[in-house]
Amino acid sequence: MGNGIAHSFAQHGFKVALIDTNPEALERALGTIRHNLDRQIKKEVLTEDDKRQILKRITTYVDLRQGVSRADFVVEAATENESIKLGLFRELDALCPPNTVLATNTSSISITKIASVTQRADRVIGMHFMNPVPVMKLVEVVKGYSTSVDTIHSVIILSERLGKIPVEVNDYPGFVANRILMPLINEAIYALHEGVADREAIDTVMKLGMAHPMGPLELADFIGLDVCLSILRVLHDGFGHPKYAPCPLLVNMVTAGKLGKKTGQGFYAY
């Protein structure tokens, strides 16, 4: 997600510091950005010169302090894990200029909780991009309990400058997108687990029958099975309802390191 967010900001004229603790992830991210820019050139959305300019606007860092010390706006897109995000927001709050807005791309973790570890809860907000970021129009703008009206307005205007369509939602587990999507994916995994049908049959029913562009198992692989499991756990803990309990097959696959497209194996092989 980080590479897609960096790509979109740089494409729309913003200078971007792309930060990851893992230098290999940064290399992979730049490779993905180049590949996706080439696709846009092929579709005649961008030119070779645009690509050069866009890449020039992106600098990579492994050191958080160097990357954010002069940032006007931060979008955090680290692993979907509450303790990682809380730790990062404590650091970001200490390292960023006082007026910087700290947005998170979390799929499900409470914005209010993330904001609570900072001294600037009014300037903490959810800016939930969809995957793949350069293609998908939606940004779910998630208001934490203390998020100010100014912060919401600035994120709406910023989303529009990125060519996106922002939709405001409130801070409940999974917000809107994943509160609805993850139970669907989980149910598809249960259908596979219980032998109701094979993976192709499940995906084909949903694609042809419901006009979904991707079947739910294919989509889960694309999102990352670890990300899906983390989101389901947030829903399960947050609502305390058994309907959100992750399917044991999903839990086993994540434990076995079969995380979907990013590891080459999920419900399908890549």
Ligand X SMILES: NC(=O)c1ccc[n+]([C@@H]2O[C@H](COP(=O)([O-])OP(=O)(O)OC[C@H]3O[C@@H](n4cnc5c(N)ncnc54)[C@H](O)[C@@H]3O)[C@@H](O)[C@H]2O)c1
Contact set with ligand X (CB under 6 A): 1-2, 19-22, 25, 77-80, 84, 88, 105-107, 128-129, 131, 223-224, 227, 262
Closest contact distance (angstroms) between CB of 133 and ligand X is 8
From the CB of 44, what's the least distance to ligand X, in Å?
27
Residues annotated as catalytic (active site), given as ranges: 107, 128, 140, 178
Alpha carbon 139 to its chain's center: 10
Q: Which residues contact 253 (CB under 8 A, 6 or more apart)?
A: 225, 259, 266
Nearer to ligand X, 34 or 41 (CB): 34
Quick check: helix, strand or coil at residue 229? Answer: helix
Least CB distance to ligand X at residue 238 (A): 14
Angle made by CA atoms 249, 252, 256, in degrees to the nearest 5? 140
Comparing CB distances to ligand X, the nearer of 71 and 223 is 223
Can you tell me the distance from the alpha carbon of 154 to that of 158, in angstroms, rounded to the nearest whole number?
6
The least distance separating ligand X from the CB of residue 88, rounded to whole angstroms, comes to 5
CB of 223 to ligand X, least distance (A): 4
Whichever of 202 and 223 has its CB closer to ligand X, that residue is: 223
In terms of CB distance, is 79 or 204 closer to ligand X?
79
The 10 Å Cβ neighbour count of residue 233 is: 18
Compute CA distances 52 → 11, 26, 42, 82, 143, whole Å: 10, 18, 15, 36, 36
Say which DSSP state 163 is in.
Answer: T
Residue nearer to ligand X on the CB measure, 86 or 197? 86
Tell me the pairing of strands 58-61 and 73-76: unpaired
Q: How far apart are CA 118 and CA 52, in angstroms?
A: 37
